[in-house]
Amino acid sequence: MLFQIFQKHIDAILDELASAGTLPAGIDRSNVTLEPPRDPSHGDLSTNAAMVLSKAAGLKPRDLAEKITEKLGTLDDVQSVEIAGPGFINLRVAAPVLLGELLEIEQLGPEYGRSDKGKGVTVNIEYVSANPTGPMHMGHCRGAVVGDALADLLEAVGHKVIREYYVNDAGSQVATLARSAHLRYREALGDDIGTIPEGLYPGDYLKPVGEALAAEFGDKYKDAAESEWLLIFRKAAVGKMMDMIRSDLALLGIKHDVFSSEAELHEAGKADIAEAELRSRDLVYDGVLEQPKGKVIEDWEAVELPLFRSTQFGDDQDRPIKKSDGSWTYFGGDLAYHFQKAQAADELIDIWGADHSGTVKRIKAAVAALTEGKAKFDVKLVQMVRLLRNGEPEKMSKRSGNFVTIADMVEEVGKNAVRFTMLMRKADAQMDFDFAKVMEASRDNPVFYVQYAHARIQSTLRKAADEGVLPSSDKLDSLGEEELDLIKMAAQFPRIVESAAVSREPHRVAFYLNDLAAAFHAFYNLGNDRPEKRIIMVNDPETTSARLFLAKNIGQTIKNGLALMGVEAAESM
């Protein structure tokens, strides 16, 4: 790959300079970068090596640059090289290298852009983890898509990835779910349940759950005490909810490898083990929390609770791991859960909604404490999405009546548009999702614009095939400057994938695809004014076949990028 090739050239030259004594041995090169300059007129690639290393070498940046440039200039892969500004080394890539890149895309096909850089490192990524109390709604959507795309990206760079969903089936919310299900169960058995009491879940989606329970248990628990049925109904209802959530996620093309149950975690005593471990290191103690400042809590009372010393890790308060009734807090379970995840992975990533930002410090502290700092752990916060329709806020759903479900969104705009749009913004910036805009077929809508580029390429290939010309690499020499520029653009793809994976920012792929699509559209339109630049030229099958070869592989690159986002490339529009 283009960047690898030149990275090696630079490394080799720096080695030579080191052995010649120009550079000190064992010099730190970690700050040396090789990247395309922002301004293309500066060249194809630029390195800051001379500026970064000049101090250690005891040379002026430009003098060191001179020495590097001398050697670079002799390479066949380099067309030209020059020193600019304070000591940047700018170089232009020779055409054969670019054509080689094109052949590589052809050869690797769907594999182009993938690498094994992350080989040997297992990453556990937890995303969605919505409470199993109802259907997936828009609030879950962005985190689900970002998490899934990030998992794809990490796999693409060679990591072993475990996709995990934490099922919160132990708290009071699922007890409420069980009671709501019991109500629907009585309804299914013929009781008149009237209006759903305050505090229970009113959604119609619980009706089939009640019916299923009625079919399974008959009237056995109809008038029984809650203690008799609560756990049974809880488990059954959670199971049904998870089935529903899985099918909602499937609409977005999202799957998890592991579903971890909070209840099972506690049954297995994992939280007790974590507590004992932390107590032995004096990181959990029994203490009393102070009343929080700046907020008046009317029924506040001082209670002694087992507290985790998260203040030692930068949190502003120690955090209880058990409630006053002796049951575990969410944090208590979460702590044990992360400890469990860390057993099977080298790195952990959590995707959370921004409304959980206040709990990041304590869980990071807990993971650091439990793994003694060994597990890399990152929490990625995903900001709110505002749903709009033609600029007006949209809150109502046809399905549930009070919130827009993922099923609604997918039904209206389709999986591909939902996923692409959710990935068009940095995760930690708020975003608007306008149904009208997402469906719009215009330059303003990147979903469409990128798809259109791919479809246009396929259409061109079909048209050429009808006329008997197929893509071929036989006469790639006939490709001109504009074509080579397009290859340069495509050649950046592996780098983009890598940087998106390393920085955990899937949106970079989306922006890159938008740029690549723009470059292709521009190239395509060259033929309007300059007929000799059209892809299909009837009287010149050799150039045509070379350009088709180029177009085909630009299409392949777009397709690969879309695949990383979980979006299918359109064959025609």
Partner RNA sequence: GCGCCCGUAGCUCAGUCGGAUAGAGCAUCAGAUUCCUAAUCUGGGGGCCACAGGUUCGAAUCCUGUCGGGCGCACCA
Kindly tell me which residue out of 443, 470, 477, 480 binds RNA, with binding defined by CB under 7 A. Answer: 443
Report, in Å, the least distance between residue 362 CB and RNA: 8
Residues 546 and 475: beta-carbon distance below 8 Å: yes
Task: For residues 230 and 238, give the distance between their C-alpha atoms in angstroms, rounded to a whole number.
Answer: 12
Task: For residues 190 and 210, give the distance between their C-alpha atoms in angstroms, rounded to a whole number.
Answer: 11
Residue 485 burial (CB count, 10 A): 15
Residues 424 and 510: beta-carbon distance below 8 Å: yes
* Residue closer to RNA, measured from CB, 177 or 214: 177
* Residue closer to RNA, measured from CB, 276 or 300: 300
Site for RNA in 13-52 (CB under 7 A): 30-31, 33, 35-39, 41-43, 46, 48, 51-52
**Sheet strands side by side (includes 34-35):** 34-35, 45-47, 88-93, 78-84
Kindly tell me which residue out of 114, 222, 279, 323 binds RNA, with binding defined by CB under 7 A. Answer: 323
Task: For residues 497 and 395, give the distance between their C-alpha atoms in angstroms, rounded to a whole number.
Answer: 35
* Residue closer to RNA, measured from CB, 221 or 337: 337
Report, in Å, the least distance between residue 215 CB and RNA: 28
Kindly tell me which residue out of 310, 329, 553, 556 binds RNA, with binding defined by CB under 7 A. Answer: 329
Site for RNA in 242-271 (CB under 7 A): none
Phi, psi at 498, each rounded to 5°: -65, -45
Task: For residues 276 and 271, give the distance between their C-alpha atoms in angstroms, rounded to a whole number.
Answer: 9
Site for RNA in 117-156 (CB under 7 A): 131
Site for RNA in 80-119 (CB under 7 A): 84-86, 88, 90
Total binding residues toward RNA, as defined by CB under 7 A: 100
Stretch that binds RNA, among 70-78, 217-225, 301-309, 343-351 (CB under 7 A): 301-309
Tell me the chain's radius of gyration from C-alpha atoms.
29
DSSP run (H or E) holding 32? none
Q: Which long-range contacts (CB under 8 A, 24 or more apart) does 170-173 make?
A: 170/261, 170/262, 170/263, 170/265, 170/266, 170/328, 170/333, 171/262, 171/330, 173/131, 173/133
DSSP run (H or E) holding 377? strand 376-382
* Residue closer to RNA, measured from CB, 114 or 323: 323
Report, in Å, the least distance between residue 157 CB and RNA: 14
CA 257 to chain centroid, in Å, comes to: 16
Site for RNA in 516-535 (CB under 7 A): 518, 521-522, 524-529, 534-535
* Residue closer to RNA, measured from CB, 25 or 297: 297
Asked if 416 is part of the footprint of RNA (rule: CB under 7 A), the reply reads no
Residues 550 and 461: beta-carbon distance below 8 Å: no
The two most distant CA atoms of the chain are separated, in Å, by: 92
* Residue closer to RNA, measured from CB, 155 or 540: 540
Report, in Å, the least distance between residue 218 CB and RNA: 31
Site for RNA in 457-476 (CB under 7 A): 458-460, 463
* Residue closer to RNA, measured from CB, 214 or 332: 332
* Residue closer to RNA, measured from CB, 3 or 217: 3
Site for RNA in 216-235 (CB under 7 A): none
* Residue closer to RNA, measured from CB, 36 or 210: 36
Site for RNA in 184-203 (CB under 7 A): none
Residues 476 and 99: beta-carbon distance below 8 Å: yes
**Beta strand 376-382 with 347-353: parallel, antiparallel or unpaired?**
parallel
* Residue closer to RNA, measured from CB, 214 or 491: 491
Kindly tell me which residue out of 155, 346, 432, 485 binds RNA, with binding defined by CB under 7 A. Answer: 432
Site for RNA in 156-175 (CB under 7 A): 168, 171-173
What letter would DSSP give residue 469?
Answer: -
Stretch that binds RNA, among 18-26, 137-145, 235-243, 497-505 (CB under 7 A): 497-505
Stretch that binds RNA, among 97-105, 109-117, 300-308, 483-491 (CB under 7 A): 300-308
Asked if 442 is part of the footprint of RNA (rule: CB under 7 A), the reply reads yes
Site for RNA in 276-295 (CB under 7 A): 289, 291-295
What six digits make up the tokens of 329?
A: 């807090």
Residues 44 and 488: beta-carbon distance below 8 Å: yes
Residues 297 and 291: beta-carbon distance below 8 Å: yes
Kindly tell me which residue out of 221, 331, 337, 435 binds RNA, with binding defined by CB under 7 A. Answer: 331
Residues 334 and 362: beta-carbon distance below 8 Å: no
Amino acid at 45: L
* Residue closer to RNA, measured from CB, 108 or 431: 431
> What dihedral angle (degrees, nearest 10) is formed by the CA atoms of 280, 282, 284, 285?
110
* Residue closer to RNA, measured from CB, 46 or 405: 46
Asked if 320 is part of the footprint of RNA (rule: CB under 7 A), the reply reads yes
Site for RNA in 351-390 (CB under 7 A): 354-361, 381, 383-384
